[in-house]
Amino acid sequence: MSNRKINTALPILFSIAVILGMFVGYKLHSNMPMTKSFFSSSGSNRLNEVMQLVKKRYVDKVNVDSITDNAINKVLESLDPHSVFIPASDLLAVNENLEGHFEGIGIEFNIFDDTVHILSVLENGPAKISGMMVGDKILMVNDSVSIKLKDTEKFKSWVKGPGGTKVSLKIMRENKIMTLQVTRGKIPITSLDASYMIDKDHGYIKLNRFSANTYAEFIEALERLKKEGMKSLILDLRDNGGGILEEAIDIVDEFLGNNLMIVYTEGANNPRKEYKAKRPGVFETGKLVILMNENSASASEVIAGAIQDHDRGQIIGRRSFGKGLVQEQLYLSDGSALRLTTARYYTPLGRSIQKPYADGVESYDMELINRIHNKETFKDPSISNNKAVFKTAKGKTLYGGGGITPDEYIPFDSTLYDTSINKLYANNAIGNFSYRYFLSQRQRLTQYRSIEEYISGYEVTDKAVEDLIKFSNNPELQYRPLTKTSVKFLKTRIKAMMARIKWNESGYVQVLNDGDENIAKGLVYLRN
């Protein structure tokens, strides 16, 4: 791949790894271990024989386990892009996002100049209870491990651990050194980034994934917004790579009634299974908008497909990722696991959303990047004549294959196509600068009692953008003037990242939503 392609595609590249790691139909079959009796076929025996011969007779010492893992990966690559092998050593970390929690101390951090800086502290979490604050620098862990490193994973391994155990942290705060004793606990990984009233009638909910806690988080937010007067809802699934199928189904059930079909799955070794609305929904009659983009995948597409097929709401944004394969997680005898594709899912009208993958994994991964270079993300694409055509009960034309095509198209933000701006993302210059800028503005920010006051009252200065450019040490930006659009874009990003530090992810989302074209189009539809 050329450097030009990498630079222009960075905003999408950042999320590909996340999307490809997510899947529909996540199940932990802890009561169904794959024992030796499962592998009784002659083909499996041949593989085992080859491994044993290599181990006993090969000229050099070899790591047979590593060779076996590579062989498994090659087998899975020949099947589809979403069947993957997970070594036992990686399984706990891989599962955490979908289980919705991990055990640790509840901080977000980054490493600047070989020192760990605290970017945020979970409200009511172990670190917060111990007295830790944003801006603290961690100097030592357990009085023996000196923190001078660039490896964030190593630091995580030091502070994560079983709930109830203690970790001693030596910190520096405004040139004062102190020691905090932190008792590790269960740290939630929330699916819900934000939920708030845009105005007196219109609510907004943003989900970043579908984990074991997603439906509970969603229904709590939905019921609260209804009590606050919500009559219509914008459900934001942009950049949501998917997750647990059943969580998505439960969410759709709140929008549909009358035993309507939500989704069905079917595979060569899995007979058709139908999922229908089974209970009175909390929001069956209010107007609904779903926001999507090219990074909305799998479970997100299940929701959008059901809403679209039943004429229940408006899909706004860009064509979704196109993942219509269902995976189940199956454990192997050594503690590793397979996430194996076992079925395809279909929308109520019978649409398959899966995009083609016959040309291999590399071509599959490049498909999102090709959308940029084919200009699809910048202008409303013409629908290919070879796509399967479906009609809803109200006569709307829908298409199968290659993702959910929105009812109303919103082009990609062209500012992100600026390669210099992309480079600020590549080295996290915007985030790192915003943290430092927040610390310099901390006293001023105390006057804003709410995120609403901050959005309407706080302005990032031109000098802050100039300081960001200097901080980035990016010659391209230092020697050419930025457009007004780029300056505005950077001001918004700085403001949003500062809001994240003070008001967590919800503050970040609300700042970015202020003036967002997708939100504006959604409100036009809801108010019509």
Q: Is residue 245 part of a domain?
A: no
Token duo for residue 288: 């609904």
DSSP-assigned states of every residue in 109-167: EEEETTEEEEEEE-TTSHHHHHT--TT-EEEEETTTEE---S-HHHHHHHH---TT-EE
Predicted pLDDT of residue 528: 87
Residue 473 lies in a domain: yes
| Of the residues 188, 207, 236, the one at which a domain ends | 188
Q: Which residues contact 225 (CB under 8 A, 6 or more apart)?
A: 195, 196, 197, 203, 205, 233
What does the pLDDT read at residue 385? 56
Residue 420 lies in a domain: yes
Backbone angles phi, psi at 150, to 5 degrees: -120, 0
pLDDT in tens, the chain (528 residues): 333 333 333 443 333 333 434 445 544 433 333 433 344 444 557 878 888 888 888 899 888 888 888 888 888 989 999 999 999 988 888 888 888 889 999 999 888 877 889 998 998 899 999 999 999 999 888 876 655 556 677 788 888 889 999 999 999 998 899 999 999 999 999 999 999 999 999 999 999 999 999 999 999 999 999 999 999 999 999 999 999 999 999 999 999 999 999 999 999 999 999 999 999 999 999 999 999 999 999 999 999 999 999 999 999 999 999 999 999 999 988 899 999 999 999 999 999 999 999 998 889 989 988 888 787 877 777 665 567 899 999 999 999 888 999 999 998 877 666 777 777 877 788 999 999 999 999 999 999 999 999 999 999 999 999 999 999 887 777 667 788 888 999 999 999 999 999 999 999 999 999 999 999 999 999 998
Cα dist from 70 to 66, 67, 81, whole Å: 6, 5, 15
Strand (E) or helix (H) holding 266: strand 261-267
89: in domain = no
The residue from 147, 170, 188 where one domain ends is 188
Examine residue 448 and state whether it is found in any structural domain, yes or no: yes
CATH number where 173 lies: 2.30.42.10
Structural domain includes residue 411:
no
Write down the pLDDT at residue 10: 40
Residue 221 lies in a domain: no
- Domain with 505 in it: 416-521
Structural domain total, the chain: 2
Question: At which of 138, 169, 188 does a domain end?
Answer: 188
